[in-house]
Amino acid sequence: MSTTFEQFKKYLQQIQRYNQIQTLLYWDMKGQMPKEGFAGHSDALTYFSTEQFKLSTSQELKDYLVKLSQPEEFEKLDADWKFIVKLMKREFDRDERIPQDFYSAYVQEQAESAKAWEEAKRASDFTIFAPHLKKMIEMTKQRCAYTDPDKEVYDALLNDFEEGMDSATIDRLFGELKAALVPLVQKILAAKQPDDSKFHAFYSADDQRKVQEYLLSYIGFDWNRGTVGESEHPFTLNFSSQDVRVTNHYYEDNALSAMFSAIHEGGHAIFEQNVNPKLDGTVAGSCRYMGIHESQSRFYENILARNKNFWEPIYGDIQKLLPALEEVSLEEFYHEINHVRNGMIRTESDEVTYCFHIIIRYELEKAIFRDGVDVEELPAMWNAKMQEYLNITPANDAEGILQDMHWSDGSFGYFPSYLLGSIYDGMYLQQLEKEMGPVDDVLREGRIKEITKWLNEKIHQYGSTRRPKEVIEAVCHTEPTAEPLIRYFTNKYTELYNL
């Protein structure tokens, strides 16, 4: 192997250490750090992220990338390293086109806008956020003009979160979905709703921790390479494939929230634990595609864990761990975990109405970047669409357009990935049943780890070396389509709600 390649690998290891330290500071800040530890930790975070930025934009790194991109060096690399060098070179070139002054101003506005959003949400007053949102939109357009001068802005943004995805494809996918779901949801909402009174009980945090441990083990989380923590909002992070962590939050009046969060984050974590360790510490060592990542968390959370058969072999154990569930039959439990409510809040919504929260964001993002709609018009548009799709109108902007923080730091184009994840899930399910027979049988027989193994082999091991459309093609041998998800929803909810 060439000296340049060895030096390059050493250099990446160096960057990885600075990443690792930032990850650890973040983990600690969200978890165990006491309140007054904040100043020390944020000082360190700023310092080490600045050091990492220097390493990631240095002439030394550029030289490695240029050398390794030359044919005589490039051809010596294996397929994974070719992918890594190409990706890093492309991103380096792209980022280099952003003027330093603009970048600093952008980072500063991100922070200010995020702060304004927090204040606006607290006061439920969109006008506090509007000028910052306007500025973030302008700066985002400017950023795209630097980085992707030949692309339409919104397509460039979508590409940031789900490489290779574009609005033409999403228009088609979300369009199919919307056409089918609008009437389905209307029928569900008109039907008889399950009685949830038995679920209003006390569940101790400690019991819920035990349930989480049980569920994570059951779906295949590897405790030698992972652990759990607690934080205000659940999340997953990883240092490498050898150390992947999930957090949870326990509400003592609601056991379902932490159970499904555990399974959702567990899906993200199982992905990261099963990436080929050879890719550790590189840009391909973790899944960077939000739609693909979300497809794994949502596959476990929705496709598998909202299936009655998932619980069949384990419900007795869960009842022992959560005594308040002893009076709840499996049938009642199954109905409650699929209870469709047309709620205001995306993160609390069921798998069906969830789709509309994303579709509305997508339609608004297109209105912003393609139709040039004024920022001031957005709250009314949000509310009108909520009324149209879900028969409800937010009482205020805090439970309407202000509920999510994504736009405040300029993460436009992020939202669609959540729903792309579900669309992929319908496709995986169809393919899985072709290869393994009915998923109901696999689950009922307690063979869920065979599904995990299937996902490991088909998706996880590749990390980021396969792009979203390549993953779908390799697993399902077809273009993305919403049809399987629509069929899944229709069959499941027709039966559940006697439609």
Q: Is 70 in the site for a second copy (CB under 8 A)?
A: no
User: What's the token pair of residue 242?
Assistant: 């050898």
Among 18-26, 58-66, 254-262, 407-415, the segment contacting a second copy (CB under 8 A):
18-26
Among 20-28, 123-131, 307-315, 386-394, the segment contacting a second copy (CB under 8 A):
20-28
Among 15-23, 70-78, 155-163, 431-439, the segment contacting a second copy (CB under 8 A):
15-23
Distance (Å, whole) CA 97 – CA 57: 12
Q: How far is the CB of 212 from a second copy (least distance, A)?
A: 14
Q: How far is the CB of 25 from a second copy (least distance, A)?
A: 7
- Classify residue 467 as left (phi > 0), alpha (psi -120 to 50) or beta: beta
Q: Is 226 in the site for a second copy (CB under 8 A)?
A: yes
Q: How far is the CB of 214 from a second copy (least distance, A)?
A: 16
Distance (Å, whole) CA 352 – CA 196: 18
How many angstroms from the chain centroid is the CA of residue 26? 18
Q: Which of 140, 167, 212, 240 binds a second copy (CB under 8 A)?
A: 240
Q: How far is the CB of 29 from a second copy (least distance, A)?
A: 10
Q: Which of 162, 163, 243, 272 binds a second copy (CB under 8 A)?
A: 243
* Nearer of residues 41 and 278 to a second copy, judged by Cβ: 41
Distance (Å, whole) CA 173 – CA 413: 15
Phi, then psi, of 350 in degrees rounded to 5: -75, 175
Instruction: Print the binding letters for residues 192-221 with a second copy: x by CB under 8 A, - otherwise.
Output: ------------x-x---------------
Q: Which of 2, 40, 190, 449 binds a second copy (CB under 8 A)?
A: 40
For residue 286, the number of C-alpha atoms closer than 13 Å in the C-beta half-sphere is 19
Q: Is 33 in the site for a second copy (CB under 8 A)?
A: yes
Interaction with a second copy in 253-292: which residues (CB under 8 A)? Answer: none
Q: Is 34 in the site for a second copy (CB under 8 A)?
A: yes
* Nearer of residues 25 and 442 to a second copy, judged by Cβ: 25
Q: Is 323 in the site for a second copy (CB under 8 A)?
A: no
Q: Is 6 in the site for a second copy (CB under 8 A)?
A: no
Distance (Å, whole) CA 489 – CA 499: 12
Q: How far is the CB of 10 from a second copy (least distance, A)?
A: 12
User: What's the token pair of residue 42?
Assistant: 């944020």
Angle between helices 167-190 and 153-161 (to 10 degrees): 70
Give the residue numbers annotated as catalytic, written as ranges.
Answer: 265
Q: Which of 194, 229, 313, 446 binds a second copy (CB under 8 A)?
A: 229
Q: Is 239 in the site for a second copy (CB under 8 A)?
A: yes
> What's the DSSP call for residue 236?
E
Distance from the first to the final alpha carbon of the chain: 64
Strand partners, 248: 230
Among 73-81, 127-135, 165-173, 237-245, the segment contacting a second copy (CB under 8 A):
237-245
Instruction: Print the binding letters for residues 341-380 with a second copy: x by CB under 8 A, - otherwise.
Output: ----------------------------------------
Q: Is 36 in the site for a second copy (CB under 8 A)?
A: yes
Distance (Å, whole) CA 314 – CA 210: 14
Q: Is 53 in the site for a second copy (CB under 8 A)?
A: no
- Sign of the CA dihedral running 46, 414, 410, 341: negative
Among 40-48, 62-70, 107-115, 480-488, the segment contacting a second copy (CB under 8 A):
40-48
Q: Is 149 in the site for a second copy (CB under 8 A)?
A: no
Distance (Å, whole) CA 4 – CA 407: 41
Among 27-35, 101-109, 285-293, 457-465, the segment contacting a second copy (CB under 8 A):
27-35
Q: Is 39 in the site for a second copy (CB under 8 A)?
A: yes
Q: Is 20 in the site for a second copy (CB under 8 A)?
A: yes
Distance (Å, whole) CA 369 – CA 389: 23
Distance (Å, whole) CA 386 – CA 93: 42
* Long-range own/partner contacts, residues 243-247 (CB < 8 A, 24 or more apart): 244/269, 244/272, 244/273, 245/27, 245/269, 246/216, 246/221, 247/30, 247/31
Residues 6+ apart with CB under 8 A from 496: 335, 338
Q: Is 27 in the site for a second copy (CB under 8 A)?
A: yes
Angle between helices 483-496 and 415-436 (to 10 degrees): 80
Contact residues toward a second copy (CB under 8 A) are: 17, 20-21, 24-25, 27-28, 31-37, 39-41, 43-44, 47-48, 204, 206, 223-227, 229, 239-240, 242-243, 245
